[in-house]
Structure 1
Amino acid sequence: MGSRRTTIATGSLLTASFSAVMIFSFSAGADDPGPMSGKGGKVIDEAPAGVKLTTSLPEKINVDNSSQETAITATVKNSGTKESGKIRLLVVGFDGLSVKSVEGCSEIAEKDLPEGSNSGYACAIDNLAAGKSKSYAADATYDLKKAGKICLPVQDTDGKKTFWQQGPVPFGANNPAPNAPATPLLLGTDNSPVTPGGDKAGDKTGGEDLPRTGPADQVLPLGAVGAALISAGAVGLWWTQRRPGLGGSES
């Protein structure tokens, strides 16, 4: 993956009164991700008056068929009329999609991940002005023999409220091309895995489903110590630990 420019934004994370869990950050992408979409996104808890937070993901990503590597840009935007105050963006991978690194960010410990997920990072944002957005570029891998999903919650700093959650929403292709240099995957499309020989492979992803906010709503189960992202009307909790400032690019 090419290197990406980042701007450092300071932010603090609240120490939870319960168990200590790492929290995180995110790298910002300078590369043009192409058309973006908020598909699979939904308001969970009401944001402060005048604040309207949403996220978006690329409509298409390309997975290198040799290395399984891909790049995903996650963007959070405040479309309201007032600044957001301190918030955080989480990026969590499921099934065949694993988030591997985000420059300037801290990885969530495996024991603290939401149930059913395989990887996760988060970004503390000191403030997002009205009409502004921040984009974060993540390096990831995608096992094309499986389906793969990604989830973007936007929360207050202690994780007691989830103002917006996109996903878990799938990236996939109905007709993967395992013998081509790269396979394009579309947001909101369930992957139809194939083996290198061209036969469809069973999607043995394991684990339980998470809270979806797309057409087929599901709930993201809690880990014993980790995060809970609950769909419509409930609260998403992420126990956290104080971390230093995090990176991101702002527009």
Structure 2
Amino acid sequence: MSSRRRTAIVGSLVAASFSAVVILSTTAGAKDEGPGSSEGGKAVEQAPAGVELTTLLPERISVDNSSKKTAITATVKNGGTKESDDIRLLVVGFDGLRINEVKGCTEIPEKDLPEGSNSGYSCAVGELGAGRSRSYDVDATYDLGKEGKICLPVQSADGSTTFWQQGPVPFGTVNPSPDAPATPLLLGTDNQPVAPGGDELPRTGVAREALVPLGAAGAVLVAAGAAGAWWTRRRPAGS
């Protein structure tokens, strides 16, 4: 093989390798929450004819191991053929997942939070056209030493009717990486925190046994679909 031909082949290989590195670097640096998923969601009370309300959460998120900060996109969608009446979306955090802010939404007072939750926001969606969706940017923190869940109910504007509820559904990882800059979490996965010096999970926050009645309460909410079942911690007026 002539030296000129060898030089041409080597040059092509180098160029191809450089292109692969550029492509991989660009992909790794891109923000990607993955496709939206309605996992853990269920219709509660029947929506008006022609209206089909659901919610979507990213299939994966990433938690900064230093600041514990994470970003989540919460989406409400009308997959029906008719426009909805005025509706609202609630974004509620449980256990290690705390909702710090939802852009364009109002914080739910502590006294009005559902039993077992630590934070929440109410978003006035208004009327949602057929086939339309609306997304909200959620700023949150995640204590990776605990399990963490999020809940997205879709209600009438006055909160008297719950049409759909996603969750409380967990975000978590089965492969914690405390030495990495960030920890990826998957929707629908129970978080397995790194044990501080052993294989046993740390007993912080709500104990495992206490999660059973919380889950049962969530099932009751989905079955009943009533505002009274959801707002179990609402205080009497004037208290």
Q: Name the TM tier (shorter chain).
A: 0.7 to 0.9
2:68: which partner in 1? 68
In the superposition, relative to structure 1, how do residues 157 and 211 fare at CA in structure 2: closer, same or farther (>3 Å)?
farther
Q: How does 1:1-251 map to 2 (within 5 A)?
A: 33-195=33-195, 200-206=200-206, 209=211, 218-220=216-218, 230-237=221-228
1:231 partner amino acid: V
CA deviation after TM superposition for structure 1 residue 219, in Å: 2.0
Cα deviation code 1:166-201 (max 9, x no counterpart): 000000011111111000000000000114668553
Structure 1, unaligned runs of 5 or more: 1-30, 222-228, 241-251
CA distance in 2, matches of 1:159, 1:124: 11
Q: Give SS of 2:223's match.
A: coil
In the superposition, relative to structure 1, how do residues 177 and 200 fare at CA in structure 2: closer, same or farther (>3 Å)?
farther
Cα deviation code 1:92-140 (max 9, x no counterpart): 0000000001223221111211110000001111210000000001100
Conserved 8 A contact 1:147-1:203? no
Give the aligned length.
Answer: 199
In the superposition, relative to structure 1, how do residues 131 and 95 fare at CA in structure 2: closer, same or farther (>3 Å)?
same
Task: Give me the identity figure in percent.
Answer: 64
TM-score w.r.t. length of structure 2: 0.76
CA distance in 2, matches of 1:211, 1:201: 20
CA distance in 2, matches of 1:218, 1:166: 15
Structure 2, unaligned runs of 5 or more: 1-30, 235-239
Conserved 8 A contact 2:104-2:123? no
Structure number with the higher helix fraction is 2
1:79 partner amino acid: G
1:192 partner amino acid: Q
Q: Superposition RMSD on alpha carbons, in Å?
A: 2.4
CA deviation after TM superposition for structure 1 residue 203, in Å: 4.2
Larger Rg: 2
Give the number of the structure with larger relative contact order, counting CA–CA contacts within 8 Å between residues 6 or more apart: 1
